[in-house]
Amino acid sequence: MIIVLKPDTKQEQKDKLIGWLKELGLGVHVSDGQFKTVLGLIGDTSEVDIDLISSLAIVDSVKRVSERFKCCNRKFHPDDTVVDVGGVKIGGGNFCMIAGPCSVESEEQIIGIAKAVKAAGATLLRGGAFKPRTSPYDFQGLHATGIELLKIARAETGLPIVTEIMSASDLDLFADVDVLQIGARNMQNFDLLREVGKTNKPILLKRGLSATLNEFLMSAEYIMAGGNEQVILCERGIRTYTDYLRNTLDLSAVPMLHELTHLPVIVDPSHATGVARMVRPMAAAAAACGADGIMIEVHNDPMHALCDGAQSITPDEYREVAKIVSKVREAVK
């Protein structure tokens, strides 16, 4: 249920109403927008008397929210959420360019790529240290060493770092990471979602391989229900019957998610297509449909990459992608 308050409502009147709602055993999410305050009620509202609340002088309107996702619901929080990663803003008109290798392989590799993508316009550096691989015999990432190398690359370039966490038991290792990524395979790892929801770090949540938008948003809800509101959604392609591509990039999810939620929505054309030459057109398309950012895998030597070489573009190609993305953004403004 949401309660929209009249614009001239005083703070003490608001506090009184919120206190009363809490006495009824409800959680209250307060969204103070530019023009109105919206109170989002969390919990069992079936016993709440809508007529009584509607009759209060400070109340403009009361509506039931049928969706099961509440905290991430646009109805609870009409303004866009802007996630702040150490000064780099994402959402609400702030566009992010996340780039870097699938996995961190060596100090030379990550520093070289970090410098190159920064020069091309990247605003955050990605790189996997814990890799969810289909085969247990494939490279699994450098783990703690990988995270240390990302920190060195951050110190060299100033780019905040984004890296995937696969298990809550590793959280200590991620204490100095700027953005925790939850990968597609863990989108419904509810224990992990709950744990990262207790942290104060921005979370980059990737859509599961076959997740509906409702399931995707319910996973964001798990994180937010723990108190962490800094969630970025990432569309990374879903499983369909496509044969020449790794996945199908569901770009219509971007404007639909923007309707349903206030959270920023970014697009990963690398995992979505699995083909390096598809990255540029799909990155441009993502910018055209209003994504709040793009995450791309960039490798200095894709032929010898330890993971996802086929979909990795070179720093030179990334520079071209960044240019076209910025032209498209300008054109659709």
Task: Return the C-alpha torsion angle 156, 125, 314, 255, nearest 10.
Answer: -150
C-beta of 73 vs 273, nearer to ligand PEP: 273
Closest approach of ligand PEP to the CB of residue 312, in Å:
11
Range in contact with ligand PEP (rule: CB under 6 A) among 54-62, 78-86, 181-189, 315-323: 181-189
Residue ranges in 43-102 that form contacts with Mn ion under rule CB under 5 A: 102
Least distance (Å) between residue 51 CB and ligand PEP: 47
Residue 40 Cβ vs ligand PEP, minimum distance, rounded to whole Å = 30
Our CB check for Mn ion shows the closer of 224 and 276 to be 276
According to CB under 6 A, which one of 1, 41, 110, 184 is a site residue for ligand PEP? Answer: 184
Single residue of 74, 75, 236, 280 touching ligand PEP by CB under 6 A: 236
Task: Find, among 284, 281, 282, 279, the residue nearest to 297 by Cα.
Answer: 279
Binding residue (CB under 6 A) for ligand PEP from 1, 53, 85, 102: 102
* Residue (of 61, 62, 66) closest to 260 by Cα position: 66
d(CA 33, CA 55): 22
Nearer to ligand PEP, 53 or 295 (CB): 295
Residue written as tokens 């999410």?
Answer: 29
- Closest residue to ligand PEP in the complex (CB): 183
**Separation of alpha carbons 142 and 140, rounded Å:** 7
Q: Identify what 90 binds: ligand PEP, Mn ion, none; CB under 5 to 8 Å per kind.
A: none
Stretch in the footprint of ligand PEP (CB under 6 A) among 183-191, 192-200, 225-233, 249-257 = 183-191
Cβ atoms of 149 and 142 within 8 Å: the answer is: yes
Footprint of ligand PEP on 293-322 (CB under 6 A): none
List strand residue ranges (DSSP E) for 50-102, in order: 59-63, 83-85, 88-90, 96-100
CA 85 from centroid of its chain's CA atoms: 12
User: Residue 206 binds what, of Mn ion, ligand PEP, none (CB under 5 to 8 Å, by partner type)?
Assistant: ligand PEP
Q: In angstroms, how far is the first alpha carbon of the chain from the final one?
A: 34
Q: What value, to the nearest 5°, has the Cα angle with vertex 88 and ends 181 and 321?
A: 75
CB-count exposure of residue 60 (10 Å: 0-12, 13-18, 19+): middle
In the window 252-271, what residues touch ligand PEP (CB under 6 A)? 271
Residue 274 binding ligand PEP, by CB under 6 A: no
Please state, in angstroms and rounded to a whole number, the distance separating the CA atoms of residues 28 and 32: 12
Q: How far is CA 65 from CA 1, 231, 242, in A?
A: 5, 21, 36
> Is 308 one of the binding residues for Mn ion (CB under 5 A)?
yes
Can you tell me the distance from the alpha carbon of 216 to that of 207, in angstroms, rounded to the nearest whole number?
6
Q: Does 206 bind ligand PEP (CB under 6 A)?
A: yes
Q: How far is the CB of 183 from ligand PEP (least distance, A)?
A: 3
Contact residues for ligand PEP (CB under 6 A)? Answer: 102, 128, 132, 164, 183-185, 206, 236, 271
Contact residues for Mn ion (CB under 5 A)? Answer: 102, 308
